[in-house]
Amino acid sequence: MHARKRKGAAALAVLAIASLAIVASALARADVAPTAVAAPNASCTGAKIGFMGPITGDAAFIGKEQLGFSKYAIRKLAAGKVKLVEGDTQLDPAQASTVGTKFAADASILAVVGPAGSQEVLAVSPIFKKGQRLPFISGSATRTSLTNGSIPNFFRVVPNDSVQAPTTAKYIRQILKAKSVFIVDDQTAYSKPLANGVQANLRSGGVKVTRNSVNQKVTDFSSLVSKIGDDVNVVYLPWQIAANAQIFGQQMKEQGKKAIIFGSDGVDSGDFKIPGSYISAFAPDIRAIKGNAAFVKGYGAKFVSNFGPPMYVATQAAVAAITKACADGDATRAEVQKNLKATFIPKSILGGNFQFTARGDVKGAKFYIFKLGAGGKKTLVG
């Protein structure tokens, strides 16, 4: 009798452990090593640019605006000579690896625009570095170390977090005059170093910082919100999913928390619209830049975040590099990468002339601070 009982219990235990193993393996998918990539041949006929972005999923708002502007660039600048191939990454490193492997194996893809998140850039960089290196330009990945020289074929059209962290901390300290800040990272390769940077800057300025962390997949923040003390003036959320920041704000309201929310560039989308909050942004509102009226009118569709316009510039740089490489009727990815390094876009839609540094960053880029009003209306305040 007892043996049977033990057997039953053991079977249940095995099932429970198996269930946990499935969860663990699902969570570990992001770390799966990429498979080998076939080396593509040099080609120019039917040249393509691969687009990588979160077209669906939690961050679809970002991906759709990025795709819209990439398509606009192709329509406006490629004159039918370069096509765009879409790859949906869902802001997931595992999905990004799958899309990246497909793109790397396609000889007609000479450059990639995207992916959106720093964790995705880290996931695809080993794939794009293999064989004939595939140059890729992110329109939103800001992790500082991405351009430390370890990914020579990587470029980005936005400033990095070595600019964002001090800009944010300075604003919180000097303008909002916060004495106590509650920081929550979302455990991603983007969020953690940015949170560390802001935290270090605030602490060095004498601000009390309480640090917390929550998985990006979590959407019930009740317990975390409860931890926000009455003395906290600002809650800093360096997150990638704006909808989560919105829920966090609503749950703060539910529990009567009065602190101001300050979101990073990742929450700069229409999904986050808590009035009185602040966000940092890696690009200006292009509608406010003199000379962009015709460009904005030509785009036609409505856009809310600052994620789209940089992708126009990324695609513009890729189209220019491919067009130049194809001038002799033939092109290789190496040529495209070389041309990208020499990119010069006069009077870019982001304001001023656009150039990359030797390491693939943007020359002279800066971060902007916006305050959100009713309905998420943004006002530039810093």
Partner 1 sequence: MDFDFFVQQLVNGVTLGSVYALIALGYTMVYGILKLLNFAHGEVYMMGAFAGFGILSVFGGALSLSINVVALIAMMLGVAMLGSGLLGVVIERFAYRPLRDAPRIAPLISALGVSFFLANSMQLLFGATPRNYNTFDLANASLYTKGFNVGNVHVALLRIITVVAALVLMMLLWFLVNRTRTGKAMRATSFDREAAAMMGIDIDRVIVFTFVLGSALAGAAGVLQSLRVPTTVAIGFVAGLKGFTAAVIGGIGSIPGAMAGGLILGFAESYAQGYISTKWSDLIVFSILILFMIFRPQGLLGRADIRKV
Applying CB under 8 A, does 219 fall inside the site for partner 1? yes
Residues 53, 18 contacting (CB under 8 angstroms): no
In whole angstroms, the minimum distance from the beta carbon of 224 to partner 1 comes to 6
Q: Which is nearer to partner 1, 223 or 353 (CB)?
A: 223
Residues 363, 357 contacting (CB under 8 angstroms): yes
d(CA 100, CA 88): 10
Q: What are the distances in angstroms from CA 228 to CA 23, 77, 224, 239, 246?
A: 30, 49, 7, 17, 16
Applying CB under 8 A, does 150 fall inside the site for partner 1? no
Which of 83, 179, 227, 363 binds partner 1 (CB under 8 A)? It is: 227
- Provide the CA 345 distance to its chain's centre, in angstroms: 23
- End-to-end alpha carbon distance in the chain: 74
Phi-psi region of 256 (alpha: psi -120 to 50; beta: other; left: phi over 0): left
Which of 108, 187, 196, 210 binds partner 1 (CB under 8 A)? It is: 187
Which of 83, 253, 363, 366 binds partner 1 (CB under 8 A)? It is: 253
Closest CA to 60 of 272, 299, 271: 271
Applying CB under 8 A, does 342 fall inside the site for partner 1? no
DSSP state of 263: E
Q: Which is nearer to partner 1, 208 or 338 (CB)?
A: 208
- Residue 8 burial by CB count (10 A; 0-12/13-18/19+): exposed, middle or buried? exposed
Structure tokens at 186: 């979302």
Applying CB under 8 A, does 214 fall inside the site for partner 1? yes
- Going by C-beta distance under 8 Å and a sequence separation of 6 or more, which residues neighbour residue 242? 59, 61, 62, 263, 266, 267, 268, 269, 270, 271, 272, 305
Applying CB under 8 A, does 145 fall inside the site for partner 1? no
In whole angstroms, the minimum distance from the beta carbon of 182 to partner 1 comes to 13
Please list every residue from 61 through 100 that binds partner 1, using CB under 8 A: 90
Applying CB under 8 A, does 256 fall inside the site for partner 1? yes
Which of 83, 254, 276, 301 binds partner 1 (CB under 8 A)? It is: 254
Q: Which is nearer to partner 1, 215 or 357 (CB)?
A: 215
Choices 50-58, 169-177, 301-309, 322-330 (CB under 8 A): range interacting with partner 1: 50-58
In whole angstroms, the minimum distance from the beta carbon of 217 to partner 1 comes to 8
Within 13 Å of residue 115, how many CA atoms lie on the same side as its CB? 34
Residues 237, 213 contacting (CB under 8 angstroms): no
Choices 158-166, 222-230, 282-290, 293-301 (CB under 8 A): range interacting with partner 1: 222-230
Applying CB under 8 A, does 28 fall inside the site for partner 1? no
Q: Which is nearer to partner 1, 3 or 288 (CB)?
A: 3
Q: Which is nearer to partner 1, 4 or 297 (CB)?
A: 4
Applying CB under 8 A, does 25 fall inside the site for partner 1? no
Binding interface with partner 1 (CB under 8 A): 1, 4-5, 8-9, 12-13, 15-17, 19-20, 23, 26, 56-58, 60, 90, 187, 212-215, 218-220, 222-224, 226-227, 243, 247, 250, 253-256
